[in-house]
A and B are shown apart, each in its own frame.
Chain A
Amino acid sequence: MKIRLLIFFFISGIFDLNAQTASDSTRYYNDFNFIIHLSKNKLFTEAEQEAEKLFAANGVNELYKDSVNYFLGIEYYNEKRYTEARKHLVAVSDNVFFYYKAHYLAGNIDAENNMTDSAIVNYNTIEESTNATLNELKQFELAGLYLMNRNYKMFDSLSQNYNFQNPLIKEELENLKKYNIVEKKIKRKSPFIAGTLSAIVPGLGKVYTGNNGQALASFLTCGLIGVVAAENYVKMGIKHPQTIFFTGLFGLFYIGNIWGSAVSVQLVKIEKQLENKHNILVSIKIPINRFFQ
Chain B
Amino acid sequence: MRTSTTYWLVLKFLLIGFFSKAQLFSIQKADSLFEQKIYTIAATEYERCYFFINNDSIRFNMVLKRANCFKANGDYFEAYKNLYRLLDNNLLNDSLRSVIWYECAFNLYLSKYYNDAEKFCLKIAGLPVSTKQSVNANLLYGLILNEKNDYLQAGYKFTDYINQADLTTSKKDSLRKIVAVNYKKENYPKLKSLKKARRLSKVIPGAGLFYAGKPSKALTNISLQLLAVGYTGLNVYVGNYITAATAGIHIIRLFYTGGVNQLNEIVPLQNYKRSRKFNDEFKNAFIKELKQ
Contact = CB atoms under 8 A, between A and B. Distances in A.
Contact of A228 (B13, B238, B247): B247
Interface residues of A, number: 31
Contacts of B48: 34
B9 A23 contact: no
B128 interface: no
A246 B243 contact: yes
Contact of A231 (B9, B44, B52, B243): B243
A125 B283 CA distance: 64
Interface string A223-242: 01001100110011000001
Interface stretch (B18-26, B145-153, B208-216, B270-278): B18-26
A240 B60 CA distance: 83
A26 B240 contact: no
A50 B44 CA distance: 9
Interface residues of B, number: 25
A282 interface: no
A43 B8 contact: no
B44 A49 contact: yes
A8 B5 contact: yes
B16 A12 contact: no
Contacts of B243: 228, 231-232, 242, 246
Instruction: Give the interface SS of chain A, mostly helix, strand, loop or mixed.
Output: helix
Given A8-B5, A23-B20, A26-B20, A43 B47 contact: yes
Contacts of B239: 235
B1 interface: yes
Given A12-B9, A15-B12, A46 B47 contact: yes
B287 interface: no
B203 interface: no
Contact of B13 (A15, A20, A26): A15
Contacts of B44: 46, 49-50
Interface of B: 1, 5, 8-9, 12-13, 16, 19-20, 23-24, 43-44, 47-48, 51-52, 238-243, 246-247
9 contacts: A8-B5, A8-B8, A15-B12, A20-B16, A23-B16, A46-B43, A228-B246, A231-B243, A242-B243
